[in-house]
């Protein structure tokens, strides 16, 4: 018997469990956000000084949120990230939708790709590269919760 690909195994299993595809999709996106948003002190790659970059993350099912060239932190101000808006977009998405995530801070691309002699942080790319592992982990966790 030929070994099935991971994608084929997930597809076969999710056909058997009603709602599994949607649950895996939404939880996987939520975990991907958590990976991208993890600060360096938390084992992630995102530099967090004022919190402005972290709080600039937006989500949409219609378009990638654009960088706002005038979006910069106010001197001395700290910014909190709640994630409620991101969670709402994920919750409202339907299976088959594309969820676009984007940092809108003016300097987001500089942090991601590096600039002015500073090394890239690659917090977005590094998170995106983990997508297959995130889906596999979420699938395994759901199977365990359902006792399968």
Q: What average pLDDT is seen over the chain?
A: 91
**Percent of residues, the chain, with pLDDT higher than 70:** 88
pTM for the predicted model, two decimal places: 0.85
φ, ψ dihedrals at 4, nearest 5°: -80, 150
Question: For 2-25, what is the mean pLDDT?
Answer: 71
Q: What is the mean pLDDT of residues 111-123?
A: 95
What pLDDT, on the 0 to 100 scale, is given for residue 1? 42
Q: What is the mean pLDDT of residues 134-143?
A: 93
Handedness of CA 101, 105, 75, 35 (dihedral sign): positive
* Residue 66 backbone zone (phi > 0: left; psi -120 to 50: alpha; other: beta): beta
Cα–Cα nearest to 89, from 25, 13, 12: 25
Q: What angle separates helix 6-16 from helix 131-146, to the nearest 10 degrees?
A: 30
């Amino acid at each position: 018997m030929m070994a099935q690909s991971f994608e084929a195994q997930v597809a076969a299993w999710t056909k058997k469990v009603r709602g599994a595809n949607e649950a895996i999709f939404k939880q996987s996106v939520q975990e991907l956000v958590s990976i991208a948003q993890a600060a360096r002190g938390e084992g992630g790659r995102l530099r967090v000084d004022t919190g402005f970059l972290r709080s600039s993350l937006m989500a949409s099912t219609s378009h990638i949120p654009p960088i706002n060239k005038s979006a910069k932190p106010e001197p001395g101000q700290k910014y909190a990230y709640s994630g409620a808006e991101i969670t709402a977009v994920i919750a409202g998405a339907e299976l088959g939708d594309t969820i676009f995530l984007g940092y809108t801070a003016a300097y987001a691309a500089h942090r991601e790709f590096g600039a002015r002699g500073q090394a890239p942080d690659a917090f977005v790319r590094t998170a995106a590269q983990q997508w297959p592992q995130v889906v596999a982990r979420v699938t395994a966790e759901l199977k365990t919760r359902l006792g399968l």
